[in-house]
Amino acid sequence: MNILILEDEEPAARQLTQLLAQAGYATPPPVLRSVEKALAWLQTHPLPDLILSDIELLDGNVFSLYEQFPVACPIIFTTAYDQFLLAAFRGNGIAYLLKPFTLEQLQAALAKYERLRTSFAPPPAATPSLPPDVMRELTQALRQHSQPTYKQRFSVRMRNGLHLLQTDDIAYLQADEGVTFAIDGAGTRYPLSGTLAELERQLDPSRFGRLNRSELVNVAFIERAEPYFNNRLAVKLRAPGVTLTTSAAQTPEFRRWLEG
């Protein structure tokens, strides 16, 4: 693991290096004592795996460094001051060691780093055990199976019994005084269970588009759409004498839906 130490006091840097050696990190990490030198180092070297960072360096507060250089690796802060605790954890801080700290405290912080590193490590790539052509067919089949399924028909209770209404036969849907009706090309109205919003989620959005707060229309029944006053559209259907209108708020989205 590549570690970088930011520490302006030489005795503290030496003690930290010794504690790291006792914790099993035998290679002495580079030690930088100022914001200026740390910035130059970070700009010319690969980002370390972990930074052990004091807060007050020779030429200023270390947070000015992190404002100038986007450090993406975790940071263990080592300082004699506790007033920077909140600022430390707003960045990449994973631990905050108050000087003088012990080997056990440092080991606990390093163990936390290892746990986090393991948790966020990407899983090893799986080697497919099937031939590539079989994998392709399976992938395609799964992709097709994962496509959303939409309502194909409604079972509607009418006076003369149960009627099976195909969604292809619905010209438009209309919410009227708390009841949602499906209207076919002949003008017959079928009461459906559920609100207009609930039914909209069950219907294919490429076929049924919203006109306004109370109406959905089947694109297969649209004959033409014409400009209407107040930035609305008059939508004439292939059904005897039926013209619906969009709301001003819905018109832009309806235009996009019409263009597919």
pLDDT tens across 157-184, in order? 888 888 999 999 999 999 998 899 999 9
CATH of the domain at 38: 3.40.50.2300
* Position 134 in a domain: no
- The DSSP secondary-structure symbol of 30 reads P
* Position 125 in a domain: no
Rounded to whole angstroms, how far apart are CA atoms 16 and 5? 9
* Position 145 in a domain: no
Each residue's pLDDT tens digit, 12-71: 999 999 999 999 998 899 999 999 999 999 999 999 999 999 999 999 888 889 889 888
* Position 147 in a domain: no
Rounded to whole angstroms, how far apart are CA atoms 107 and 104? 5
Domain shared by 200 and 107, yes or no: no
Domain shared by 161 and 226, yes or no: yes
pLDDT attached to residue 127: 46
Domain shared by 238 and 166, yes or no: yes
Confidence of residue 122 (pLDDT cuts 50, 70, 90): low
- The DSSP secondary-structure symbol of 167 reads G
Contacts of 211 (CB under 8 A, 6+ apart): 172, 217, 235, 244, 245, 246, 247, 250, 254
| SS3 per-residue string spanning 117-156 | HHHHCCCCCCCCCCCHHHHHHHHHHHHHHCCCCCCCEEEE
- Listed range (22-36, 67-81, 137-151, 194-208) with the worst mean pLDDT: 137-151
Domain shared by 52 and 161, yes or no: no
Confidence of residue 125 (pLDDT cuts 50, 70, 90): low
Supply the mean pLDDT for the chain.
87
Q: Pick the last residue of a domain from 95, 120, 145.
A: 120
pLDDT at residue 109 greater than cutoff 80? yes
* Position 196 in a domain: yes
- Which residue do the tokens 């005084």 mark? 177
Do 157 and 167 meet the contact criterion of CB atoms below 8 Å apart?
no
pLDDT at residue 120 greater than cutoff 90? no
Domain shared by 13 and 113, yes or no: yes
- Number of folded domains that form the chain: 2
Domain ranges, residue 216? 153-259
Distance from the Cα of residue 16 to its chain's centroid: 40
**Beta bridge partner(s), residue 175:** 180
Rg (CA), the chain: 33
Domain shared by 12 and 55, yes or no: yes
Beta-strand relationship, 232-237 and 189-192: unpaired
- Which residue do the tokens 């302006």 mark? 8
Rounded to whole angstroms, how far apart are CA atoms 216 and 201? 11
Q: Pick the last residue of a domain from 65, 96, 120.
A: 120
Domain shared by 236 and 173, yes or no: yes
pLDDT attached to residue 22: 94
CATH of the domain at 209: 2.40.50.1020
* Position 240 in a domain: yes
